[in-house]
Structures are given as C-alpha cells and as structure tokens.
Amino acid sequence: MYQTWSWLGFLHWSYRPEVLQRLLPAGLRPHTFDGRAWVGVTPFFLEDLRTPVAPALPWFTSFPETNVRTYVVGPDGREGLWFFSLDAARLEPVLVAQSTYRLPYKWSAMTVERDGSTIRYRSRRRWPGPTPATSAITVDVGDPLDPKELGEFDHYLTARWQLYTTLGPVLARSNVEHEPWPLHRAVVRELDSNLVAAAGLPAPEGGPLVHWSPGVHTRISALRPLRRS
C-alpha cells in the first residue's frame, strides 16, 4: 500500500534494553545505540492511503496518527521497527490494518493543527484499550538540517526500512520504502502524554530528543512470514 506521512514529529527517550526485551516477541531483540534502547512517539498526519489499484479518497484515507515504537533486530539479522501501539483517527483503516498487517492499531479522537511553525497534536483513545490513553504534544519547528549535519545517531532514530509484526506465533516482516527524511530542528513546547505507559513501559524520564519532518511518500510491501530457525 501507499501512504504519505506529513508533519511528522520524532520524540525519543532511552531505556535499558532488558526493559524493552520483555515486551518483544521471541526472535526479536532491541537494536541499541551505545548500549541503550530507544522508544519513539511519532505523531503525524497520514494522507493518500491507497493500494496500487484503488484511488485515495480524502474522506477515508487522510487522518492523524500517533505511533509508539522501538527499534529491533530480527532473526534474519535485519534492523527494523516494532510498534507497541498505533493510534489513528479513522475506524475503517484501523480495522483493515488490524486484520491484514496484525498491527496494534487503536481508534482515537485526534487532531493535528498547524499555526506557522507551531504544530499541535492531540489524541484520546476510544477503542480498544488500554484506556485512558491520551496525548497532547506541541512542537515548534526550526530550521532544516543539512544532510551533512546528520550523524549516525540521527539516522538510527529515524531511518528504518522495514517493520516486524506477528501472524499468530510466526514473525513477519514488511519493507517500508521512501526517500530520505528531510529533517528539521524542533523544540517541544507542550508534552502531556501517557501513550508510552499505556503500552506497558515505564513512563519516560526527562525530556525527549526531538526531530521533525515535513514528510515523505511511502510504499509498504505485503507481509513476508519468516522461517523459524
């Protein structure tokens, strides 16, 4: 399927790898950087959701979304994403994604508003639980980052080209293809969210590391079950 991810914020906190390991399925391990695992909260606006044979319908395929994710290494040695939750504002795509990609989508009341360089993301989970799960994030977007300014750690936090999920007891993987992220400096002005805790993790400590992007066009492949070792 094809999607456009717009106005995307990256907020990250570090954790001990063993804290995340207990929430991962067999076959996955945390992908660490300098010995620490990282959890991201990524609010954005999804647009133009479609398959190769169907047009995008604005009333159905454009809506806010906020993900709680971490970074993992699979049994195949590939690095990728593991989603703890994906809150989205449109029920029908939530049901489709739950049934096809087996991702932990949640139906939520959500808004994304932009006022100049200020972006406000709001979310309140409706179904399924755990609830209450809410998020209020306001980000002030700064200057673009030149690609030469981006280091290995910036890419570790943002550049991921596959996701993992489970089909019953079997791990599966999907490729996520898009152009390199155009990243900006950003500062969080408001942060009141319990989405990480609702995913079963300890509440984040301290302020997050922050990036922001105007967005990318993506292509997400069909799932490929992985052979058991």
Tens-digit pLDDT profile for residues 176-214: 999 999 999 999 999 999 999 999 999 999 999 999 999
Say if residue 227's pLDDT is above 80: no
**Tens of pLDDT, residues 71-90:** 999 998 999 999 999 999 98
Show Cβ contacts of residue 130 under 8 Å, excluding neighbours closer than 6 positions: 198
The distance of Cα 49 from the centroid of its chain, to the nearest Å, equals 16
- Closest among 8, 1, 224, 50 to 137, alpha carbons compared: 8
**CA distance to 16, 93, 110, per residue, from 137 (Å):** 25, 23, 12
Q: Hey, what CATH topology would domain 2-225 get?
A: Acetoacetate decarboxylase-like (2.40.400)
**Percent of the chain at pLDDT exceeding 70:** 95
Q: Which residues of 27-47 are buried (b: 16+ CB within 10 A; e: fewer)?
A: bbebbbeeeebbbbbbbbbbb
Q: What is the signed CA dihedral for 111, 166, 50, 112, rounded to 10 degrees?
A: 10
Burial of residue 215, with CB atoms counted within 10 A of its CB: 0-12 exposed, 13-18 middle, 19 or more buried = middle
**Band of residue 96 on the pLDDT scale cut at 50, 70, 90:** confident
Stretch among 19-33, 54-68, 69-83, 214-228 having the lowest mean pLDDT: 54-68
Nearest 5°: CA angle at 88, between 142 and 121? Answer: 30
**Band of residue 162 on the pLDDT scale cut at 50, 70, 90:** very high
Say if residue 99's pLDDT is above 60: yes
- Closest among 83, 45, 68, 53 to 135, alpha carbons compared: 68
